[in-house]
Amino acid sequence: MKPTILFLSRKWPPAVGGMETHAFELFAGLSEVADVHPLVLAGRPDGRAPGLLAYAAFLLKAMVFCTWHARKFERLILCDLILFPTAVLHRCLNPGARRIVYVHGLDLVYQQRSGLLPWVYGGYLRAFRASQACFSRIVANSRHTRELAEQQGLRDVVVINPSLPSSSFPEHDTTAALPLAWEEAKGTHFRILYFGRLIPRKGALWFAGNVMPMIAERARFYVVGDSSLHQYKAELAACARTHLLGRVDSPRLATMIRQADVVVMPNVAVSGQVDVEGFGLVAIETTALGGRLLAARIDGISDAVVDGITGRLLPSGDAEVWASLLEQSRTPGTSVFPDADSAATETRTRYACSIQAQAFMALLDPSEEQAQE
């Protein structure tokens, strides 16, 4: 008989984001080995996350559910610490159960921002820290996140990396038309691809403004993604040899990743903004497809790239190093990147959904956890 798990997440599709993807993939993996009861807050149809009132209502709903059903579930997983009052109630009603909370980078730094809401959240985080004994284990999505957690006074934090999303990209290239600017450069230009959110810390504007001017004229920078930061997009669009392609669907993007000469994750530290890259799903999505990846050695990205094995890690913000390696990669016979097939195999093995699920199940089963230790 499969073990039963109560699974709570306020981040869920159709909302788009790393936490939503991770929660869904974790649920899917656990469902292969356990009877998982999901209690989740679905995102908006347009891909946006629900608002604060929806979060509050969901927390209340989860606590009411636990009031009636806590004794039915000997295992509880919270996908982020916002829902911790549910775990406190669950412990009161079922003290012998195993409870796990998964913490993310933003969970641990948001209170450092300015404004009323971060100030209120700071008190909420202190309450979580005081109540952490109700959890059997606290799980971080990367070593960097674990360091942040320990700085906040959290104890017994273990690292379980997110898994490769099973449905992010198709295995075969699409026959559908790709963006015209991309197709026109085929065979004549060195194509550098970025995909993801267009926000300062992701580094697309830094790369376009600092690295592109240092490399050969034949190079072109293609940016896939969108943003509500209109000034940021305008500055990016004004950069030389840079093409903003907007949103591109998964089949076309997968083809572009395979065709790109280089895929970049040029994340940078941004003063005045308190946010972190907890893990970096873009990295494993790229290398699993055989994409040639250059990524910044910053935050949790170091857990998503095995340097020299799945991709290359470079110093964040060092334009000269980035430009030098890009120029090397254009030289015939120069081995800058690992073999694409080997990198893809390593990524798919290392970040398999089953590995993540087994790690969680070990924490939920005291005998298995002790055996691993």
| pLDDT tier, 370 (very low <50, low <70, confident <90, very high otherwise) | very low
Report the C-alpha gap between 3 and 72 in whole angstroms: 11
* 3-class DSSP state of 164: coil
Q: What would the two tokens of residue 261 be?
A: 């000469």
pLDDT at 113 over 80: yes
pLDDT in tens, 305-336: 999 999 999 999 999 999 999 999 887 666 78
CB 87 within 8 A of CB 17: no
pLDDT at 76 over 90: yes
* 3-class DSSP state of 103: strand
pLDDT at 248 over 60: yes
What structural domains does the chain harbor?
A: 4-163+352-372 (3.40.50.2000), 180-350 (3.40.50.2000)
Q: What would the two tokens of residue 157 be?
A: 């934090």
- Give start and end residues of each alpha helix (H) in the chain: 18-31, 52-69, 84-93, 105-109, 116-130, 143-151, 180-184, 204-206, 230-237, 250-259, 281-288, 301-304, 319-329, 340-350, 353-364, 366-372
* Residue owning tokens 């499969």: 2
Report the C-alpha gap between 221 and 240 in whole angstroms: 9
| pLDDT tier, 369 (very low <50, low <70, confident <90, very high otherwise) | very low
How crowded is the C-beta side of 196, counted as CA atoms within 13 Å?
Answer: 23
Nearest in space to 352 (alpha carbons), one of 144, 103, 166: 166
Report the C-alpha gap between 188 and 103 in whole angstroms: 45
pLDDT in tens, 148-191: 999 999 998 999 999 998 766 777 787 889 999 999 999 899 99
pLDDT at 275: 81
pLDDT at 333: 60
pLDDT at 127: 96
Mean pLDDT of the chain: 92
pLDDT in tens, 260-274: 999 999 999 987 667
How crowded is the C-beta side of 366, counted as CA atoms within 13 Å?
Answer: 7
pLDDT in tens, 193-202: 999 989 999 9
pLDDT at 274: 75
Nearest in space to 322 (alpha carbons), one of 331, 312, 332: 312
